[in-house]
Structure 1
Amino acid sequence: MSGNDLGEFLRVHRSRLRPGDVGLTSYGKRRVVGLRREEVAVLAGMNSDYYARLEQGREHSPSSQVVEAIGRALRMDDQAREHLFRLAGATPDGRDKPEETVSGPLRQLIDAQSAAAFVLNPAKDFIAANARAEQLFSPFAAVDNLARMTFLDPAARAFFARWDDFAESVVAGLRHAAGLDPDYPRLRDLVRELGEESVDFAALWSSHAVHGKTLDAIELVHPDTGPLPVVSQSFDVRGAPGQILVVYQPKTHI
């Protein structure tokens, strides 16, 4: 993670908008991609110099009203706006740290599933998996961390038929988790490792895409069984902060 994640996040979102997208008229040749800083400041109802300092990392601890105004000005959706608040330091203190082990009842629930089921922490570490999941991910050298498997294991590009889409989803999920708990050591170390070892990860991480849980169709290709389309369903684990239960259900069973 860089020293000015907030500024980078704002610049990325600013570059994605054109004057016409936000009701502004563009005159003459523009030297910047997207909106100018002054235009964002006008839309947010604040001093342009203040916004510039905020984006450059020279202004810290903006009020929640300022953060909300910037989110509206940049047309952020709910998840991006939530991430913006986290980066700006406008988050409640005392967030519970992720649990790193699963409860007995959850373990029983996972094992009882006929489909592949597993539990991930915010850093995408596998902290529990049933036999079907272990069999499904058998092409990988190690079933330890979904992000590491995606970017560092050569098997991933054959296993995930639409690898680009899956990789983007994994990184966006990590971005979301980092916004919720930027001081989570496991996640911070993982991002540093992948950024150093994978050019693809570094490029996606710099895009600042962010989302949480998804319900997505995923095309898998297992070397033993061939193409396997699945629906990925994710659920927060009640009573275990940060844990996500994921079930890969074959499409034919939906």
Structure 2
Amino acid sequence: MTDHGELGALLRSWRDRLSPADVGTTAFGVRRAAGLRREELAALAGVSVDYVVRLEQGRARTPSAQVVAALGRALQLDRGEQDHLYRLAGLQPPGEALVSTHVPPGVQRLVTRMGDNPIAVFTAAWDLLTWSSTWAGLFGEPAGRTPWERNLVVQTFHEEVLGDRAGRARHADGGAEFRASLVADLRRTQGRHPHDPRLRGLIDRLRETSPEFAGLWDTGAVGEHLSQRKTIDHPVVGDLEVDCDVFTVSGSELRIVTMTVATGSPAAEKLDFLRVAGAAALS
């Protein structure tokens, strides 16, 4: 049986222990408590304020696994806390057989504190989990996209999902090496999680919709996606040459992707513009 009273109490408790600064937002107006407001948690998790209220009051009884995962990331829960949240919601915590979507609190804080740069966190299947406002300014706001559209492999082989407000990455060789390494990396993930239904569905759908992906997949190549310098063609600020680095979180398969530019360069000025524009949009 799900204990909805405990679920609501814990959500309130976890919300109260975070400040706006912890999640990279600015506190506005008079606040009666130091913790996050319900509307701030709702915005971070991508759900309605009314739904957060109903969860905390025990009136919403069947949150989906996707909502639970989003709340766990927004509340910066550790693995034990997130597993407990799943159980309180009447769900089985994700096991090791599945690609993990858990973002440790330290990684979430890293994204918050490095938010002046485009930085994002992906699963081992390249599903986008969390990102900085500058990343959104560079590649378009991910919150308005479906999980399929937020996947980096999907965006690479189906650029149309990005829309007309997003930057596109260009590579010196036309992107052939980048696309091949991304597919080889996804195959490596599939080898580690052969029974993950979402991963299997992602691969099957890509094979059906992208002949290029299907051809690369059928080569059987297994490898690791590597960092590369690239040029981002942005519809507002034009071209930005960036150094793109990919880091794997110790003890997990999460990928942290950062993009940096030389201080004082034209690209830095363009990023500053996108950073300010992104912050204005959020506020």
How far apart are residue 168 of structure 1 and its match? 2.1
- Alignment: residue pair count: 160
Q: Aligned partners of 2:150, 2:191: CA distance in 1, in Å?
A: 23
Q: Which residue of 2 aligns with 1:106?
A: 107
**Unmatched 5+ residue regions in structure 1?**
1-93
**Unmatched 5+ residue regions in structure 2?**
1-94, 266-283
Q: Aligned partners of 1:134, 1:151: CA distance in 2, in Å?
A: 20
Q: Which residue of 2 aligns with 1:217?
A: 229
Q: Aligned partners of 1:253, 1:178: CA distance in 2, in Å?
A: 42
**TM-score between both structures, scaled by the size of structure 2:** 0.50
Q: Which structure 1 residue ranges, 4+ long, deviate > 6 Å from structure 2?
A: 155-158
Task: Summarize deviations over 1:36-76 as a string: whole Å, max 9, x none.
Answer: xxxxxxxxxxxxxxxxxxxxxxxxxxxxxxxxxxxxxxxxx
**TM-score between both structures, scaled by the size of structure 1:** 0.55
Contact 1:213–1:235 (Cα < 8 Å) also in 2: no
Contact 1:232–1:246 (Cα < 8 Å) also in 2: yes
In structure 2, the residue corresponding to 1:160 is in which secondary structure? strand
Higher Rg:
1
The amino acid that maps onto 2:100 is E
Matches within 5 A, 1:1-254: 97-113=98-114, 114-138=116-140, 142=145, 144-154=150-160, 159-162=168-171, 163-239=175-251, 241-250=252-261
Q: Aligned partners of 1:123, 1:186: CA distance in 2, in Å?
A: 9
How far apart are residue 237 of structure 1 and its match? 1.4
Contact 1:97–1:242 (Cα < 8 Å) also in 2: no
**Change beyond 3 A, Cα 1:100–1:139:** closer
The amino acid that maps onto 1:222 is H
**Change beyond 3 A, Cα 1:218–1:184:** farther
Q: Cα RMSD between the aligned structures?
A: 2.9
How far apart are residue 195 of structure 1 and its match? 0.5
In structure 1, the residue corresponding to 2:150 is in which secondary structure? coil
Q: Aligned partners of 2:150, 2:105: CA distance in 1, in Å?
A: 20
Contact 1:122–1:187 (Cα < 8 Å) also in 2: no
Q: Aligned partners of 2:181, 2:263: CA distance in 1, in Å?
A: 23
How far apart are residue 173 of structure 1 and its match? 1.6
How far apart are residue 171 of structure 1 and its match? 1.1
Contact 2:181–2:225 (Cα < 8 Å) also in 1: no
Q: Aligned partners of 2:188, 2:261: CA distance in 1, in Å?
A: 27
**More displaced 10-residue stretch of structure 1: 174-183 or 144-153:** 174-183
**Change beyond 3 A, Cα 1:105–1:158:** closer
How far apart are residue 123 of structure 1 and its match? 1.2
